[in-house]
Structure 1
């Protein structure tokens, strides 16, 4: 009986050991079968496809399809695309000045870049691009779209777009040009001790440029940081910008596939340059790094965020080489961003503390029956002309220097006007 029991025990142990080995072997076997399937399909296409297509081209198409199926931001960069990416990161290239992404399967404008052909032509965030010239954007990859929109300066292109609020598609003719990006500039708001800071994109010098401007304007009472239509850029610069205003705590964290892959980025008091009141402007064209900055400052109660809900791109992409020469790469989504409160940006965006619509400031037309000096007979016309001339000269000078935002400019921008009012309130409360 004891021998029988011992034999049964050994049989169970042996069975469990073999089963464990099968568990180890099965994933490897499944992996081999999957790779064999891929090789067989590629071989079949090479042998039987109606057109003579070379193996390298089949592999490239396979890689493009794979990356496209993963998510809207992952992509395969062949030699040409890798070269163009390097050109773009240098800050000067031929094209339209437009940042695009995939949203619900549609080629969508994230934002036009300031003072570029796309910006001047009236392209807006969330415009859906149906056609690029005569080519439909349906089933088009991001890289294909970008390649079609870029080209030699002074050549024309027509984008057919769908815009919210319009009853039919719009055709927008744009002339390509050399795209030079000025990422940071500042203006004083007329008659106010306030400084307007504009960040158009997060390139490698943004934190340094902003720090310099802040140090040169210590006499100001508050700041407005405009991140509208800012499509993002380098994570390191987003962290650096927040660190200029926040002296402690988590700025942002990113989590990969595994929980242990979480990486946290914290503020340092040694990097903080100002504690003055701050208002941040955002809109639907604010994405990625812009959302990290605005959302982090919002979570830290360091700034009031004004404008419209942001785009909602909260994923991290890394460019990884697939050859020794780094002439071919893949752009792969490796993690997601999380704000200090733990909330995600991806597909959600940042909701402003104060919602303000774009457009002009609405003013009551109550001046129709008011009599002014200029309406009276025998008013001092010569003096009035002198005043007008002085105003014209001042306006011309201001337009040339572009260092001052006057009251007329503010009335043209409802979101900026709202921001100024809020910033003034914060200054009063902090006294």
Structure 2
């Protein structure tokens, strides 16, 4: 009898839970209906009473734009005209400025100018805030609208009005558009045993370019990987770049709202090229893919990061058509990137191990006025100064200018690079 009563109680509880679930589903469905009804009422009211005569399609387009802008800085709605403008032109008649921009606290901000591009040559800097594009204010302008305005035919000019940190008045910078051709990987040497690798953006050629540069370098004892003002690019290239230096473990993972959007990318032992000491240079213009590389190398304790805190763009976007003819689309944020330690990049960025600011490095004072042993009249000759028993003047070896070599003079003009080189030299000595 007790078992029978217990069964009845269990059945009643189950029915109550089922009833509660049904009620919850009904409540959620009612809430969705009320929300959609509210949206329809607002659209109808605007169509009927707004001061200007707006067609229903115009109202819906504006509603969609507002919705996407409210989600985050990288999500956007693209109508037919705008989506067509954003597609790559087959005739190659469209040029650009060579800058990557993003939204920071609602302001259109330069993430970084790309080396050698019109914007770089004109003096645009990372973290400049763009107030106006020609005569159009960027206030309440979407990110993609701004990009569309800055894009145009080569050899046409554009004026950006920017606000720069520590500069009291806005600056007007005139730039002439051009076809952007980027050399994504540049390799140089510092001294006899340091390889300097500059990656300007993560396009499809980066891993191949780095692989060639590392394999071609002989007698290298340390590497400087310069990711400053690198706005990012392809995730596959960021993973491949990290894989050149890390032989095992997670490189990066992406997580969205459900398990289906989760994905983890691991290092492959067979792709690792070198284990020499590594320094990575970063700054506020290092974003997205460059943050994945620098953050993963930092988490694996494979590199020491030198420079300034990075931009903090760690989200994943996809373009999704929303009409049958695929003439309109939305760009939607669907996931965030997470580093091997589990930390996120988004809105936090990567903090370097050693903070170093841009500018010239401090040089040692000139001590030539001090008397040394060699200045004494009867000083003992160095063995290096004697040849066949005769005194010989020691002549300094002069080097011809070489674009593949970073000179001491160039090094002292770049405090962040100089700091990285000094740390790397210490690591090389320790590893001997």
Classify 1:408/1:311 alpha carbon distance in 2 versus 1 (closer, same or farther; 3 Å): same
Q: Using the alignment, how far apart are the partners of 1:404 and 1:13 within structure 2?
A: 77
Classify 1:407/1:366 alpha carbon distance in 2 versus 1 (closer, same or farther; 3 Å): closer
Look up the match of 1:343: 343
How far apart are 1:13 and its partner, in Å? 8.3
Listed one character per residue, the Cα deviations across residues 46-82 of structure 1 (whole Å, up to 9, x for unaligned) are 3443333333332222221111000111112233443
Look up the match of 2:390: none
Look up the match of 1:378: none
Classify 1:428/1:19 alpha carbon distance in 2 versus 1 (closer, same or farther; 3 Å): closer
Structure-1-length-normalised TM-score: 0.85
Say if 2:307 and 2:357, in contact at 8 Å, map to a contact too: yes
Classify 1:78/1:119 alpha carbon distance in 2 versus 1 (closer, same or farther; 3 Å): same
Instruction: Please report the RMSD computed on the Cα atoms of aligned residues, expressed in angstroms.
Output: 2.9
Look up the match of 2:61: 60
Listed one character per residue, the Cα deviations across residues 369-416 of structure 1 (whole Å, up to 9, x for unaligned) are 689xxxxxxxxxxxxxxx9xx87xx33xx3xxx322222221221111
Q: Using the alignment, how far apart are the partners of 1:225 and 1:90 within structure 2?
A: 36
Say if 2:86 and 2:148, in contact at 8 Å, map to a contact too: no
Classify 1:89/1:75 alpha carbon distance in 2 versus 1 (closer, same or farther; 3 Å): farther
The within-5 A match list for 1:175-186 is 175-186=176-187
Q: Secondary structure at the match of 2:419?
A: helix
Look up the match of 1:126: 127
Q: Using the alignment, how far apart are the partners of 2:261 and 2:267 within structure 1?
A: 20
Listed one character per residue, the Cα deviations across residues 86-129 of structure 1 (whole Å, up to 9, x for unaligned) are 42999995121111111111111111111111111111111111
Q: Using the alignment, how far apart are the partners of 1:90 and 1:301 within structure 2?
A: 46
Classify 1:180/1:82 alpha carbon distance in 2 versus 1 (closer, same or farther; 3 Å): farther
Structure 1 spans left out of the alignment, 5+ residues: 372-386
Q: Using the alignment, how far apart are the partners of 2:142 and 2:203 within structure 1?
A: 24
Look up the match of 2:333: 333
Listed one character per residue, the Cα deviations across residues 15-48 of structure 1 (whole Å, up to 9, x for unaligned) are 7655442221221222222223223333333344
Say if 2:282 and 2:309, in contact at 8 Å, map to a contact too: yes
Look up the match of 2:317: 317
Look up the match of 2:154: 153
Q: Does 1:36 align with 2:43?
A: no
Listed one character per residue, the Cα deviations across residues 278-322 of structure 1 (whole Å, up to 9, x for unaligned) are 111101100111111001101111111111111111112122222
Structure 2 spans left out of the alignment, 5+ residues: 372-394
How far apart are 1:260 and its partner, in Å? 6.9
Look up the match of 2:163: 162
Look up the match of 1:374: none
Which stretch shifts more, 15-24 or 348-357? 15-24
Aligned length: 400
Q: Using the alignment, how far apart are the partners of 1:15 and 1:361 within structure 2?
A: 74
Look up the match of 2:118: 117
How far apart are 1:220 and its partner, in Å? 1.9
